[in-house]
Copies of this chain bind each other. A is one copy, B any other.
Amino acid sequence: MKTLAAQVITPEDLLKHWQGHRALTRRVIEAFPEKDFFEFSIGGMRTFSKMTDELLAIAVPGLKGIVNKEVKPFTEETEKLIFKAQYLEKWDEATAEINAYWEKLSIEDFNENFNLFGQYEFPVIQNVLYFVDNEVHHRGQGYVYLRALGIEPPFFWER
C-alpha cells in the first residue's frame, strides 16, 4: 500500500516554473545573431542551435512519452531547421503542447517510475526536474556564448 507523503509544490506551480524557464530560454535564442546561433561555439562545444535541438527533442517527446506511457529512444529533430525564426516557431508550438500534455498528468503520476527514452528509470517528478535542470544548464552555457560575443544576455530573473 502506498501513502501520499506531504509534498511541497503543486503540478500547476511546477508547470509555471518550467514554462517560465522556457520563456527565458526563448529570449536567449532571440538574443543570438542569426549566424552565431548556428555557428558560434567555445571549446569544441555544440552551437546554441544544436543545444536547442536537444531541448526541443527532450521536452515534448519526453512529456508525451510519460503521458502515453510509451518508451521511445531519444532522437533529435530529423527535419533540419536553418533559421532562428523556425526554432522560435517550434519553441512556441512546444510551449502549447507541453501545456496540453501536462493537463493529462494526474497527481499520482508524478511518483510513478518512468523509463525516460528507455534510458533513465526514475519517478516522473525526477524526469520533469531533469527537463528543467538540463535546460538551465545549457542556457547558462548560452549566456557565456552571448557574453563572448559582446551581447548582454537577458536578466536571469526575467521569466
User: Which residues of A are in contact with B by a Cβ distance under 8 Å?
Assistant: 4-14, 17, 21, 42-45, 107, 110-111, 120, 125-126, 129, 132-134, 136-141, 143-150, 156-157
Contacts and interface: CB of A to CB of B under 8 A. Distances in A.
Nearest to A129: B17
Contact of A43 (B14, B125, B150): B150
* Copies, count: 2
A148 to B, nearest CB: 4
30 contacts: A5-B10, A5-B12, A6-B11, A7-B7, A7-B8, A7-B10, A7-B107, A8-B9, A8-B14, A8-B107, A42-B42, A42-B147, A42-B148, A43-B146, A43-B147, A43-B149, A43-B150, A44-B147, A132-B133, A134-B156, A137-B137, A137-B139, A137-B140, A137-B156, A138-B140, A139-B140, A140-B141, A141-B141, A141-B144, A144-B145
